[in-house]
């Protein structure tokens, strides 16, 4: 079977560049406008993207001066988008640190049913003391503890999604029998973090489980992904780093007893397009010219866990930054940013400019042919199974990608021309529908 790209549209209000909201074309209120997201979803669907993705966190991002802040709750928004689209997958971020398995499993089950099998869950553990304080904690739990809780959370969610057998609903009007209680399997789970007794109050969903996505690249994150994830969103700056991550994750997946083909690696890319390379570079400079560097310094000091006022805008990063092992927040992003600054000998000002578009994801300014070439190289040279497309400005960046890059990828045989018969998100990612864990192999075969 011919290997083809998986493309996911990562949607973020007016675009991924922090200054995108300041452009004349941008609507500063788009982040809470349903019509804006419907338009984006339909553009991505026109481009036959596998899925779209909404990030989220249980805290107010940044300060109000910097960029549009606040966001609609993603599962609520995706349920609305499910009624405005037909094919595209719908992936929401939800935290295992600040949710309960029963309620979250029910919400994802509801989205999967409403959308006809298009739901995906980006599983995050949520770093940061600010989020912790919103839930009555003085500090965030330790990194390893967050992942231990996440593993148990997911195990409970899987039990809940399996708590109904597929044929539990009989609907026999003549006999007066609606369902078969023998086909309900309450989890009766008692663990370190959770105690969940009863079955889910939603029938088994079209996909069995939502597509399971993970986005951490630390050692704990990779171990979790190898055990559970079916798609991994990652940030890599160089082809060599992306290839190393790809090899490592596929090897870990095999060691975990899973098929490495059943986990898709999707690095993020922020494409800035122009009809010529000079035009693309000019568009990139325009965005950088609109960065407010005071905001960038404050954000960078927070990421690097430095006291306010530490960084000098036209100087390098401090030489004595702590190692990743000492960081309890976003470990992999910390390392990526520090290595980027050291490798390219960037000043703080230059580093902020590089991070302004994608917060550590690869940014690439060029013609449609150059962007398609970059994507094709990473795909064919063992660095990616697809990409998280992160337009710098929305909706124009997504429209340009669909109109000018997707046709090139199609002509090169790297991407689909239509959705075809595969209707669920799992099918589109080449994944089987999982068997119900409460059924024996013999009963599954005889069903």
- Residue pair 23/68 in contact by the 8 Å Cβ criterion: no
End-to-end CA distance of the chain: 28
DSSP secondary structure code for residue 184 in this structure? B
pLDDT at 400: 97
- Residue pair 263/229 in contact by the 8 Å Cβ criterion: yes
pTM value surpassing 0.85: yes
The full set of domain ranges for the chain reads 6-275+359-446
Residue 69: partners with Cβ closer than 8 Å, 6 or more residues away: 31, 60, 61, 62, 63
Q: What is the pLDDT of residues 374-421, one digit of tens each?
A: 999 999 999 999 999 999 999 999 999 999 999 999 999 999 999 988
| Average pLDDT over every residue of 202-231 | 93
Report the phi/psi class of residue 168: left, alpha or beta, with left for phi > 0 and alpha for psi in -120 to 50: alpha
- 210 vs 362, more confident: 210
> Judging by beta carbons within 10 Å of its beta carbon (0-12, 13-18, 19+), is residue 176 exposed, middle or buried?
exposed
Residue 94: partners with Cβ closer than 8 Å, 6 or more residues away: 56, 74, 75, 104, 107, 108, 121, 122, 123, 124
Q: Candidates 3.20.20.30, 3.30.420.10, 3.30.9.10, 3.40.47.10; correct CATH number of 6-275+359-446?
A: 3.20.20.30
Q: Of 184-198, 313-327, 364-378, 417-431, where does mean pLDDT reach its minimum?
A: 313-327
Residue 329 has pLDDT above 70, yes or no: no
pLDDT at 164: 98
Residue with tokens 């993705």, as numbered in its chain: 53
Instruction: Give the whole-angstrom CA distance, residue 103 versus residue 194.
Output: 13
Residue 447 has pLDDT above 50, yes or no: no
Residue 418: partners with Cβ closer than 8 Å, 6 or more residues away: 48
| Average pLDDT over every residue of 179-184 | 97
Binding residues for FMN: 56, 93, 143, 147, 217-218
For the ranges 310-314, 357-361, 385-389, the maximum mean pLDDT occurs at 385-389
Indicate the SS3 state at residue 438. coil
């Amino acid at each position: 079977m011919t290997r083809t790209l998986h493309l996911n549209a990562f949607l973020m209000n007016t675009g991924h560049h922090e200054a995108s909201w300041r452009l004349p074309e941008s609507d500063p209120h788009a982040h809470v406008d349903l019509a804006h997201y419907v338009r984006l979803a339909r553009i991505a669907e026109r481009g036959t993207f596998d899925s779209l993705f909404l990030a989220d966190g249980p805290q107010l991002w940044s300060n109000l001066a910097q960029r549009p802040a606040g966001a609609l709750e993603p599962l609520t928004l995706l349920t609305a988008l499910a009624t405005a689209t037909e094919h595209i997958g719908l992936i929401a971020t939800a935290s295992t640190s600040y949710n309960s398995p029963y309620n979250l499993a029910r919400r994802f089950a509801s989205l999967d049913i409403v959308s006809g099998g298009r739901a995906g869950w980006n599983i995050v553990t949520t770093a940061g003391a600010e989020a912790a304080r919103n839930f009555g904690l003085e500090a965030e739990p330790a990194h390893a503890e967050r992942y231990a809780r996440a593993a148990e959370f997911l195990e409970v969610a899987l039990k809940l999604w399996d708590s109904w057998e597929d044929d539990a609903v009989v609907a026999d009007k003549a006999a007066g029998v609606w369902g078969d209680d023998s086909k309900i399997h309450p989890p009766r789970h008692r663990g370190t973090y959770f105690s969940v007794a009863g079955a889910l109050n939603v029938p088994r969903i079209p996909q069995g489980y939502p597509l399971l996505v993970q986005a951490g690249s630390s050692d704990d994150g990779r171990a979790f992904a190898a055990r559970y994830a079916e798609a991994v969103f990652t940030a890599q700056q160089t082809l060599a780093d992306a290839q190393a991550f790809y090899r490592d994750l596929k090897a870990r997946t095999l060691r975990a007893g899973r098929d490495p083909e059943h986990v898709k690696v999707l690095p993020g890319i922020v494409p800035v397009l122009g009809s010529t390379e000079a035009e693309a570079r000019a568009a990139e400079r325009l965005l950088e010219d609109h960065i407010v560097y005071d905001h960038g310094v404050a954000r960078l000091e927070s990421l690097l866990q430095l006291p306010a006022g530490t960084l000098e805008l036209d100087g390098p990063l401090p030489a004595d930054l702590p190692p990743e092992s000492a960081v309890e927040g976003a470990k992999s992003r910390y390392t990526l940013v520090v290595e980027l600054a050291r490798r390219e000998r960037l000043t703080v000002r230059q580093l902020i400019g590089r991070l302004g578009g994608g917060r550590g994801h690869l940014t690439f300014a060029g013609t449609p042919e150059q962007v398609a070439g970059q994507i094709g190289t990473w795909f064919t040279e063992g660095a990616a199974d697809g990409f998280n497309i992160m337009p710098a400005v929305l909706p124009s960046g997504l429209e340009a990608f669909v109109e000018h890059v997707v046709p090139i990828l199609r002509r090169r045989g790297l991407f689909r021309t239509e959705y075809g018969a595969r209707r669920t998100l799992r099918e589109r990612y080449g994944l089987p529908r999982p068997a119900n864990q409460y059924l024996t192999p013999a009963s599954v075969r005889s069903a």
